[in-house]
Structure 1
Amino acid sequence: MSVEAELIAPAELGTSVVSDKGESIAPQAKEAASGLLDQGDAMTSLAQQAPSVVERMQDFLLVGGPVVWILLGFSIIALSIVLVKLWQFALLRPESNRDVTQALALWRAGEHGQATVVLKRNRPVSELVYIAMRGVLNVRQDMDLLKDELERVAALRLNQLRALLRPLEVIATLSPLLGLLGTVLGMITAFQRMEAAGNQVDPSVLSGGIWQALLTTAVGLAVAIPVVVIHSWLERKVERVAAVMSDSVTQVFTGQQISVVAEPELEELKRAA
C-alpha cells in the first residue's frame, strides 16, 4: 500500500464515522424540532383564544345593554363586601370560644381572678364575658345597670358583625329582578323588529332577539345565586355568635349562684347521711 493510500484511508474512515453519527443524530434533532414546533403552535393557539374570550365578554356586555352593566357592577360590589367580611371574621374569630369555655370552668371552680385573665378581650364573646365577670365581682355594681351595659355592648358587637350584610341582601334580591327586566325589554325589542319586518319575517331576527333577552336573566341569576348563599352563611355565623354570647353571659351569673348554693346543700347531704 502506498503512502497516499494510507493517508486517504483514515480520512475516509473518519468521514464515514461522522456521517454515521450525523445520520443517528438527525432523527433526534427532527423530533426535538417537531416538539418545539408543536409547543409553539399550542402557545399560538392559546394566544389566539385569549383575545377571543375577551372579545366574547365584550360582546355579551354590548348585547346585554345597560342591565348587564348594572349586574356587573353589582357583582363587583358583592365580591368586595364578601372579601371585607371574610377578613373581619378571620381577624376577630368570633365563633372561637375555647378561651370562654376555659374561663367559665375556672369561674365555676371559684378561681375568679384566673378566669378573667385567660379571656381574649379582642373577641366579641370574650369581651362580653369579661365585662360580666368584672361586674359580678364588683360588689358595689348594680346588677340592673350591669345587664343594661351587657345588652348595649352585645348589640354594638353584633351590629358590627352584621355590617354590610344588608347590601348583600339587596343585591341578591335585585339581581334576578333586573335580569327579568332585561329579558322583557329584549323581547319587546325583538317583537318590534318583527312588526317592522312585516310579511318578510326572518326567523333569525326573532331567535337572535330572544337569546339576547335571555342573556340578562342568565347573568342576573349568576350574580344572585352565590350572593344568596354567602349572605345566608354569614348571617348564620352572626346568629351563632349571638347565641354563644347569651349562653356564656348566662353561665357567668348562674355559675356564681350555683357555687354559693352548693355548699349548704352539701352540708345537708352530709347530715342526712
Structure 2
Amino acid sequence: MTLLENPIARFRDFIDIGGPVVMLLLFLSVIAVAMILFKLWQFSSLRLGTQKGVHSLEMLAVRLKRQSAESNLARTDIEDVLAVNANAQIKALQRGFRVLDTIAQIAPLIGLFGTVLGMITAFQALQQSGHNVDPSILAGGIWVALLTTAVGLAVAMPTSIALTYFESRVDRHQQAIEMAVTRILNPVAHHSYQDPRASASMTGAWPVPADAA
C-alpha cells in the first residue's frame, strides 16, 4: 500500500509510530502554518513594500506639518505623535513573531526528546531479548526514534525561514516610514538620506521596538 492509495491510513500509521511526540509536533506545525498564512494576509492587506503602505503616516505628517505652521506646534510634538503611530504600526506587524520564533526553537528540541525516549525503549527491548539478540530489533527501534527528530526539523526549518522573511519585510517597511517622514518634515536632509538607522540620530527619528508580543 502506497501513500497515494490510502493517505489517511498511512497518516494514522505515522502517528502510531511517532506517538505523542509526533502529535505534539504536528499540532505546532498547524499553529505555525496558521500564523504564517495570517501574516501573509496582513502584509498583503496593508500593502507592505509599496508606497500605499506608508501613505497613512505620510498624510499624518503632512497634516501635523500644516498645523505646526498655523499654531506654532513644536517639531518635537510632531515627532512624538508620529513616533506613537509608527511604533503602533510596527508592533502590529510584529505580532505573532514570538510564536513563530518559539516554535522554530522548541520543535527540534521536542523531536530530540522523542528520539531519546525511543532510544531508551529500543535498548530496553534489546536487553530483554537476552542472548537471542536480533539486530533488526535495535535497527527498527533506532529509525523509529530518529523519526521524531526528523519531524521536529521539518517543522522548525520552514518556520524559521518564514520568520526571517517576515522580519526583513518589517525592517524594510520601517525604513520606508523613516524615509517618508524625513522627506516631509526635512526635505533638505532627505536628499542626503542614505542609511535610515544612521540618520535617525541626526534627524531626531524615533526608536522602533525590535520585537512585539
Identity of aligned residues (%): 41
- Could you say if the C-alpha distance between residues 129 and 193 of structure 1 is closer, same or farther in structure 2, counting changes exceeding 3 Å? same
- Asked whether the equivalents of residues 57 and 86 of structure 2 are also in contact (C-alpha less than 8 Å), the reply is yes
Paired with 2:57 and 2:20, the residues of 1 have a C-alpha distance of 48
Instruction: Name the residue aligned to 2:107.
Output: 175
Following superposition, the deviation at residue 142 of structure 1 comes to: 2.0
SS state at 1:160 partner: helix
Larger RCO, structures 1/2 (Cα 8 Å, 6+ apart): 2
Paired with 2:90 and 2:189, the residues of 1 have a C-alpha distance of 28
Q: Indicate the structure (1 or 2) with the bigger Cα radius of gyration.
A: 1
Computed over aligned residues only, the root mean square deviation of the Cα atoms, in angstroms, reads 1.9
Paired with 1:221 and 1:256, the residues of 2 have a C-alpha distance of 50
Paired with 1:83 and 1:174, the residues of 2 have a C-alpha distance of 21
Paired positions, count: 187
- What amino acid sits opposite 1:95 in the alignment? G
Paired with 1:195 and 1:61, the residues of 2 have a C-alpha distance of 26
Match of 1:213 among 145, 148, 153: 145
Instruction: Name the residue aligned to 1:67.
Output: 21
- What amino acid sits opposite 1:69 in the alignment? M
Deviations along 1:45-88, one digit per CA (max 9) or x if unpaired, are: 99x9522x322221111111111000000111111111111111
- Could you say if the C-alpha distance between residues 153 and 58 of structure 1 is closer, same or farther in structure 2, counting changes exceeding 3 Å? same
Paired with 2:169 and 2:102, the residues of 1 have a C-alpha distance of 19
Say whether residues 1:201 and 2:133 are aligned partners: yes
Q: Which runs of 5+ in 1 are unaligned?
A: 1-44, 98-119, 259-273
Q: Which runs of 5+ in 2 are unaligned?
A: 191-213
SS state at 1:178 partner: helix
SS state at 2:115 partner: helix
Normalising by structure 2, we get a TM-score of: 0.82
- Could you say if the C-alpha distance between residues 256 and 83 of structure 1 is closer, same or farther in structure 2, counting changes exceeding 3 Å? same
Paired with 1:239 and 1:50, the residues of 2 have a C-alpha distance of 46
Paired with 1:161 and 1:257, the residues of 2 have a C-alpha distance of 28
Instruction: Name the residue aligned to 2:65.
Output: 136
Instruction: Name the residue aligned to 1:225.
Output: 157
Normalising by structure 1, we get a TM-score of: 0.65
- Could you say if the C-alpha distance between residues 49 and 84 of structure 1 is closer, same or farther in structure 2, counting changes exceeding 3 Å? closer
Paired with 1:172 and 1:193, the residues of 2 have a C-alpha distance of 33
SS state at 1:65 partner: helix
Give the structure with the larger helix fraction: 1
